[in-house]
Amino acid sequence: MPTVPRFLVALTAFILPHAGQAQMGGDGAEAEFATCADAGANPALAGTQCALVSTPLDHAAPAQGAIDLFVRKFPARGPTQGELWLIAGGPGESGASFYPFIDTLRAAAPGFDLIVPDHRGTGYSARLCPAEESAQSDGGMALEGAEWGSCIGSMHADPQRTQSFTITNAAHDITLLMDELGSADRRYLYGVSYGTQLVLRTLAVAPPASLDGVILDSLVPADDDMRHDLSRRSQVTDTIGRRVLRQCDARAECSRYFDRPLEQAVADLLADPELSEPLGANPKYLLAALIDFPETRAILPYVIADLHRGETAWLDHAKAQLGAIQARFAAFPQFGSSIPLVSLISRSENNRRPDLTAEMIAEEEAGLLFASPLPRHLLPGGFPTYDPGEALGRMPASLPPTLVLQGQLDPKTAYDGAAAYVDRLGARGEITLSASATAPHYLLMTDPDFFVTEVGAFIGE
């Protein structure tokens, strides 16, 4: 899941492209791209083309109705060599999570059209709570105030619709979109974080007829991986956080600020409410956020040393860095995580410990220096769930040539979990694991040079 924190943005009204744009629906009309209505709203969107495509609400029961999916294309500069389809993470993130990195993607795949769907439940595609997640609602596309209650109520009131927002239905959507909007050129499919799970589900239940290769950035663990599932995200995060601290211990220019191992310095900091107070109500969560990105990870030792002196200048600087990272995405109104979709899918398909309790989480967090808030979102109550059925855990029968990009300092999708999954997938086809020794999560964003080199070589071959 690329995992930039959710935030609220002021949203302007969005009018979908209309001139010359057809929809694929019951009448069999072919979908096609037309100039996006917001193509002039941001330099990154200049020249983009958009389409709305109608897809069954439930691919196993098409008669139950249809929903619309939004797709944006960034046309290649010059002659087109092929298509690179980009599947976002989350599961609540829209395709806008790629928009700040279009130049990097073009450098990695020169001559390729970049095609970016908003998977169901996100962005400008059909939402789980249309009234509460619209641009015109009180909180915009994020839920705010009373919208939480009415959204959850509407999800329970229409369980048939709610339980159709599954990974498997989203997987069928991808193949439908590629069939309707794709060309006969070379085609590659890229997914990041949760998007890797969605891409692999697509290959398992509805593989596209033509696919030249797959790129998986920050591979999620296998569905049956009990060591690295979402309920153990804090343990994964703490392992990487401690590794970062030990790397500081090994460098004289870093460790010279401390008279003890850095892990002990952090433990002492957390044990002192007065010193840790500037970190907020959940100090371990903020410390974990600082290892998500190379620029904030690099200044973590200075933050810790500063706090031990009762000063906050480095912490303030780190928070400003996090804000600047968020601002890159806030420029696009459709960006933002759909919490209803995150809760629905995470609780239904990605929690290997359904008996998890708040007391268990608190006990586990007590021994950690870094922790993630995500396990608490898996607790029962509020949002409904669905039965994932036999698709959960299904492996693709075969794989096209596949490249896995993984950071060895990834605090979200553990490198060990990815390596173990690659070993299992190797029996299905040609798959290569390329590791960055320094990258955290989402290598397109956090190690662009590595990304361009590896993806460029893969597509070039």
Q: What length is written for the chain?
A: 461
- CATH number of the domain enclosing 137: 3.40.50.1820
Task: Please count the CA atoms within 13 angstroms of the CA of 322 that sit on its side-chain side.
Answer: 22
β-sheet bridge partners, residue 114: 74, 84
Residue 419 lies in a domain: yes
CA distance 412 to 234: 9
pTM for this structure? Answer: 0.91
CB 431 within 8 Å of CB 404: yes
Residue 394 lies in a domain: no
Q: Where are the alpha helices (DSSP H) in 291-414?
A: 294-297, 300-308, 313-330, 339-349, 358-366
Q: Is the peptide bond before 207 cis (omega within 30 degrees of 0)?
A: no
Domain count, the chain: 1
* pLDDT tens-digit map of 347-394: 999 988 888 999 999 999 999 999 999 999 888 777 889 999 888 889
CB 23 within 8 Å of CB 71: no
Q: Which domain holds residue 121?
A: 34-225+399-460
Give the single-character DSSP code of 219.
P
State yes or no: pLDDT of 460 exceeds 90. Answer: no
Residue 9 lies in a domain: no
The share of the chain scoring above pLDDT 90, in percent, equals: 77
Residue 311 lies in a domain: no
Provide the pLDDT confidence category of residue 20 given band limits of 50, 70 and 90: very low
Residue 411 lies in a domain: yes
Residue 363 lies in a domain: no
CB 75 within 8 Å of CB 84: no
Rg over CA atoms, the chain: 22
* pLDDT tens-digit map of 406-448: 999 999 999 999 999 999 999 999 999 999 999 999 999 999 9
Residue 306 lies in a domain: no
Per-residue confidence (pLDDT) for residue 17, from 0 to 100: 33
Residue 424 lies in a domain: yes
Provide the pLDDT confidence category of residue 322 given band limits of 50, 70 and 90: very high
Per-residue confidence (pLDDT) for residue 147, from 0 to 100: 86
Q: At what angle do helices 194-205 and 167-181 cross, to 10 degrees?
A: 70
Per-residue confidence (pLDDT) for residue 379, from 0 to 100: 85
Per-residue confidence (pLDDT) for residue 40, from 0 to 100: 92
Helix, strand, coil: what percent of the chain each, to 5?
45, 10, 45
